[in-house]
Chain A
């Protein structure tokens, strides 16, 4: 039964080549449009999440229980090195680093602005964040000289403060004892990530230099950041770390920056919603075509029902034709999308000319569309569903026909 029905459906489709081709093309173009747009969106989000994690958030952070609420320098992690040694033993951990953090003011001769000062241990920091990769050659170094009081600032901040390499920047803040203190730092490097907001706020100095100015107790820090081999293992590793250091507050990336997780999830939904809306519109086009088909074939359908084709088989016959229309167009659309995603996924689409606004939101200036196997499966399922649903209405129309009337001359 199936084969002959498929054969009938297939041949029926080509009775009106132009009309069928137009419908199929519409499906192809619609799906490609939707998939390309979804792929670009998803690519941007994946890129943003990756950059945020690699430059900024890392995968797990540990703080004093009250540090996050107050951000005050006296909420310390004591015995940092002991904790780090312990965490390093976990096989999923790629890198661990500790930081001293303090809010302060950065000022040059002409300008001043509020900033977050990150005291880092460069060798350890390199294992966790990619900031050291974000310096262009002409813009200095990442703590190569071991001279005292060197600072790394962003391009954005440099502009704001009118600073260059070797410029002097005065940093002022409250120390561990609550006294106002400060120091003079020399710009050693200028970095630039994709996140303009992050860049504007963060400067990096050696932890030893900052600790001295803050009068920090020995072997203490404000933040321990952990990078994992696989960011999806964060919940698992977190559940191992938490009980080991119950006195501190350990948190995974999706709780540190919920919007990252939210944006990812939203993007997955967007694909589904996007494609559903497009297929709904295409579904109407298909229904319309099939209604025309039914009208044209009134006598033929009447005859088939007269000789004994039952309702369900009539439905199947119409459904096959409808679904093939959707599937052939859909398959083409998916094929084009696969090629598009593959090609531009490798080559990238440069949007730097229009990307100014995006960058301050943490998106990159090169878009690389990303679509996964599961996305295509989702779309294929949707196409099938569209085909089946779109055949219901034409079938109802066909079954309303009375064969005796249909075949009367």
Chain B
């Protein structure tokens, strides 16, 4: 079953004098359990596409259906709630609240959801252990390496029990070792927990791991390839 359906999606930026057709007629579907990468050169429209998928940006035209809900017409505050309950985010940087510890950062999103203390604490511990940070619960982001911070971000993204996780250039600021480590963790979560990950990236290491690679150029999909066993 498709959890995401994009139909003839367009995004035109006309805030500046020049009109930018950042996303230009995209049709795309994702299923539960995918581990997919949207790739393409810088400026090709990956972030714009991912933001619309995540309800951070609204399309100029077209339709976005997530779990049978059309989100293209949701209001601002409806979108905020939608994001909170349905989507996990991992950004390139600035993922964490600097004044909160790793544990508090993960708990924070569950606070937003109003989950109970017991559940919050158990889940936080479980997730931070799963990303290999069981011993860094009380460290503030500034005391963690870039790779560790991204792993906290993954734990945070999963804490809200989202339908899928969107990660925009999650490895852009990481060295090879941290990148590999982060990708392994996400791959494992994908395989063991059937969590859907969608990346926007131009990192070859991510493309290699991905089981589906969607290539965009000038806001259009130019290829959509599924690898090893996936249909």
Contact = CB atoms under 8 A, between A and B. Distances in A.
Contacts of A299: 93-94
B56 interface: yes
A15 interface: yes
Given A8-B99, A8-B100, A404-B51, A308 B91 contact: no
B16 interface: no
Interface of A: 1, 4, 7-8, 11-12, 15, 299-300, 302-311, 313, 403-404, 407-409
A4 B83 contact: no
B80 A311 contact: yes
Nearest to B58: A404
A403 B107 CA distance: 21
A1 B92 contact: no
Interface of B: 47, 51, 54, 56-57, 77, 80-81, 83-85, 89, 91-95, 97-100, 104, 107-109, 111-114, 156, 160
B168 to A, nearest CB: 9
Contacts of A308: 80-81, 83-85, 109, 112-113, 160
A309 B98 CA distance: 16
B104 A306 contact: no
Contacts of B98: 15, 300
A303 B95 contact: yes
Contacts of B80: 305, 308-311
Contacts of B104: 4, 7
Contacts of A7: 100, 104
Given A303-B91, A307-B109, A311-B77, A408 B99 contact: no
Contacts of A311: 77, 80
A305 B100 CA distance: 16
Nearest to A404: B56
Given A4-B111, A8-B100, A309-B112, A409 B93 contact: yes
Contacts of B156: 307
B91 A407 contact: yes
B21 to A, nearest CB: 17
Nearest to A311: B77
Majority SS of interface residues in chain A? helix
Contacts of B81: 308, 310
B114 to A, nearest CB: 7
Contacts of B160: 307-308
A403 B56 contact: yes
Contacts, number: 70
Contacts of A404: 51, 56-57
19 contacts: A4-B111, A8-B100, A11-B99, A11-B100, A15-B99, A299-B93, A300-B98, A303-B91, A303-B94, A303-B95, A308-B80, A308-B84, A308-B109, A308-B113, A310-B84, A310-B112, A311-B80, A407-B94, A408-B47
Nearest to B113: A308
Given A307-B160, A308-B83, 19 more contacts: A1-B114, A4-B107, A8-B100, A12-B99, A15-B99, A300-B97, A300-B98, A305-B80, A306-B83, A307-B89, A307-B156, A308-B80, A308-B85, A309-B112, A310-B84, A313-B112, A404-B51, A407-B94, A409-B92
A47 B108 CA distance: 56
B107 A310 contact: no
B97 A306 contact: no
A311 B80 CA distance: 9
Nearest to B96: A303
A254 to B, nearest CB: 56
A236 B156 CA distance: 69
Contacts of B109: 307-308
Contacts of B99: 8, 11-12, 15
B56 A304 contact: no
A306 B56 contact: yes
A11 B101 CA distance: 11
A306 B166 CA distance: 12
A72 to B, nearest CB: 80
A404 B160 CA distance: 20
Contacts of B107: 4
Contacts of B108: 4
Contacts of B51: 404
Nearest to B92: A409
B41 to A, nearest CB: 16
Q: Which 5 A-B pairs have the closest CB atoms?
A: A308-B84, A11-B99, A404-B56, A299-B94, A308-B83
Contacts of B93: 299, 409
Contacts of B113: 308
Nearest to B172: A409
A94 to B, nearest CB: 62
A59 to B, nearest CB: 60
B172 to A, nearest CB: 8
A407 to B, nearest CB: 6
A4 B160 CA distance: 17
Contacts of B111: 1, 4
A324 to B, nearest CB: 13
Contacts of A305: 80
A7 B114 CA distance: 17
A307 B57 CA distance: 13
Contacts of A304: 97
Nearest to B76: A311
Contacts of B85: 308
Nearest to A298: B94
